[in-house]
Structure 1
């Protein structure tokens, strides 16, 4: 049964990938088939895997920042900060790296940040003669710097999954992701010629000022962030409260904001969680933990976990599939390996590895960068460049794990 439950999870991933159906929906079907007909679980036991608290937090945060995107607040902030380069083209990729990281980290997450920044950045590549691959890699690596923030959806998911294993990882995964992103961003900047760029006159000028609605939206978001970080308020409750206040003040259209909520991601994360819960009940997680522990040792564990997470993420969702599958295996892997292996370092390796493959055009962020590129470039060549960067980034995550980067913050 242990192997059968794991095969059900693999089958759900394959069906979702091949049929282009949300893996969360397929996972619920698999959870019902395996849980009810093979394990004899009743409906309540199967549905208990639905991550109610996590779903509430993610919905609140994505709704709040969906409002900021819907009324143009985030876009205007982006353009104003981008204009700070004042014609210094060499600074533009660095500014976009930092800005994408900040936007991702304060709440919207890496996918929303890249979706917001990519069209603006790719438009600049034409007028500023910046290589598209340079700008794309700087934006994506920048988004990963903020992706594991305690305020960002992916960070919230990773922190909650680790907390279920008795691990406090918010600081370690955030710093591990930032340090990895800075290393990757620095490499990409020099490899793709950022230091050789010639100064131009940027097209970003005469940017409009914030209107009443955007000023209020910015203020409410700032207050929500302060409430979470300073006063340790419940993330879901304060995010929903901020969203409702914006609606009461009439600064955003409710329907437009709800459309901005990434419903497919919420269903993906929650649906897979239901199946992973069934896999755990059936002994699949224990079996996977034991297998991974056998092929690792104290020196190679973080490296192997990072590469494993990256390869899994190449064909599935990092936050929706890879993290819920691998993070629960950590305690038993650490016990199986023995020695001084850090469970927190293993979690950091998983979350970093799972996100480094996102440069690939087969992943969400790479696909956004590719679709945002201008018509003047060779799309096929750009596709190939992103694919190579994605695969090499997974290997880099493994190397950094082997060198002990993730242990520094554990």
Structure 2
């Protein structure tokens, strides 16, 4: 076998292992980068390390560091409980509120938006007889819809990758296209399962208690904690405005804001680094390091030229969308993006397919399929659903996931890729 085929086989093997066993794909990717790079390609360690994405490490670390502070001081709980008060008694509005909450948290940088909102949402669903499939997937679609905010892990990843090329790029469309796709599925889901809620209401949607450190048994919160929360909210707004409006580097800005917040109450955040999503950072940085090795081996060019050589650019683009969707349904969304975007480069460089539309379509396809119970977000819904027949609920999840995997790539390809090609 040629080095290109061996390196590609290793990549496939890593995805299979990470799907079957709880092993971080990024760790395997680091190991593969050394084994393939040093032993197969004769690369030096310095050449392999040169592929490590230091800028992405700063971005992801900074975002999860800042949002970890927001979780620790109860700012996230405050946002959720305040929002719930706005829709008291209207069950249909509660469902959409969970969509909006998950979207807001994800847009502000929380990769754990589903993990934070799903337990609350599915608890409310159980108490008020709301279909848990509806409630759970509204949360997931909300989070995934906002997944390509400039502050999110996904958004920072794709924006950073495309910024290194000469391709045209629009962070706004990268955000709007996946959001529109997820909103469309959420709307259909609501119209299918949630119409009875339009005629139902409850006089009291119970609020979650503030469980953050520092809250008193009587429900009163110390002034120092209130000040920390106000400062955190101000910091999150400043980060969003600075990144979206003035091009401020997200990672370093998040770290700076986080350090200021920590200095305000050092003892409150002694273990704050435990809240940084090191597993996600390892996944992203490991995959990008291995992709750099594949690039050196010529594997990316070989596979990309094979796709571009299909002869019909639109068919090649559709194939990439389906490959991204199917692979991501069983594996890592960011890992999948780390593969499909480089594979699309030769096709994009031909100019025969609109770069902005295809990048956004690939991003949408790799994330919307996270409704699958085999993905982290889908698994959170399955774990928190309060149902009597869990096997039946699992089968319903699988059926809906199959529908999404089958339809979403075709829909986003037709809406975002085809218009830019004709």
Which of the five TM-score ranges fits, normalised by the shorter chain?
over 0.9
Q: Secondary structure at the match of 1:85?
A: coil
Q: For 1:157 and 1:98, how far apart are their aligned partners in 2?
A: 23
**Deviations 1:126-155, CA, capped at 9 Å, x for gaps:** 222110000011111111111011111111
Q: Secondary structure at the match of 1:404?
A: helix
1:219 paired with 2:234, answer yes
Shift in CA distance, 184/209, structure 1 to aligned 2, threshold 3 Å? farther
Shift in CA distance, 409/212, structure 1 to aligned 2, threshold 3 Å? farther
Question: 1:295: how far off?
Answer: 4.0
**Deviations 1:199-222, CA, capped at 9 Å, x for gaps:** 123333497677333222212222
Q: Secondary structure at the match of 1:50?
A: coil
Which moves more between the two structures, 170-179 or 290-299? 290-299
Aligned to 1:186: 187
**Deviations 1:18-66, CA, capped at 9 Å, x for gaps:** 3321111111111111111111100011111111001101101110001
Q: For 1:393 and 1:252, how far apart are their aligned partners in 2?
A: 46
Aligned to 1:325: 339
Aligned counterparts, 1:9-408, within 5 A: 9-109=11-111, 112-167=112-167, 168-197=169-198, 198-205=200-207, 211-250=226-265, 253-295=268-310, 297-319=312-334, 321-335=335-349, 340-374=352-386, 376-406=387-417
* Kept in 1: contact 2:354–2:417 (CA 8 A): no
**Deviations 1:264-311, CA, capped at 9 Å, x for gaps:** 110011111111111111011011112222446233344322211011
Q: For 1:21 and 1:259, how far apart are their aligned partners in 2?
A: 19
Q: For 1:80 and 1:325, how far apart are their aligned partners in 2?
A: 40
Q: For 2:276 and 2:31, how far apart are their aligned partners in 1?
A: 24
Q: For 1:17 and 1:76, how far apart are their aligned partners in 2?
A: 36
Q: For 1:143 and 1:358, how far apart are their aligned partners in 2?
A: 10
- When the two chains are superposed, the root-mean-square deviation of aligned CA atoms in Å is 2.1
Which moves more between the two structures, 199-208 or 358-367? 199-208
Q: For 1:93 and 1:299, how far apart are their aligned partners in 2?
A: 37
* Kept in 2: contact 1:309–1:353 (CA 8 A): yes
Question: 1:15: how far off?
Answer: 2.5
**Deviations 1:46-97, CA, capped at 9 Å, x for gaps:** 1111110011011011100011011211022112102211201111111111
Which moves more between the two structures, 301-310 or 60-69? 301-310
Shift in CA distance, 164/377, structure 1 to aligned 2, threshold 3 Å? farther
Q: For 2:142 and 2:35, how far apart are their aligned partners in 1?
A: 41
**Deviations 1:163-203, CA, capped at 9 Å, x for gaps:** 22323241221111111011111011112234545112333
Q: For 1:248 and 1:92, how far apart are their aligned partners in 2?
A: 37
Shift in CA distance, 22/372, structure 1 to aligned 2, threshold 3 Å? same
Shift in CA distance, 295/397, structure 1 to aligned 2, threshold 3 Å? farther
Q: For 2:121 and 2:263, how far apart are their aligned partners in 1?
A: 34
> Normalized against structure 2, the TM-score is what?
0.90
Question: 1:340: how far off?
Answer: 3.6
Q: For 2:331 and 2:207, how far apart are their aligned partners in 1?
A: 40
* Kept in 2: contact 1:75–1:116 (CA 8 A): no
Aligned residues: 404
Q: For 2:91 and 2:270, how far apart are their aligned partners in 1?
A: 39
**Deviations 1:291-335, CA, capped at 9 Å, x for gaps:** 22244623334432221101111232111x111111112231235
Ranges in structure 1 where 5+ consecutive residues have no aligned partner: none
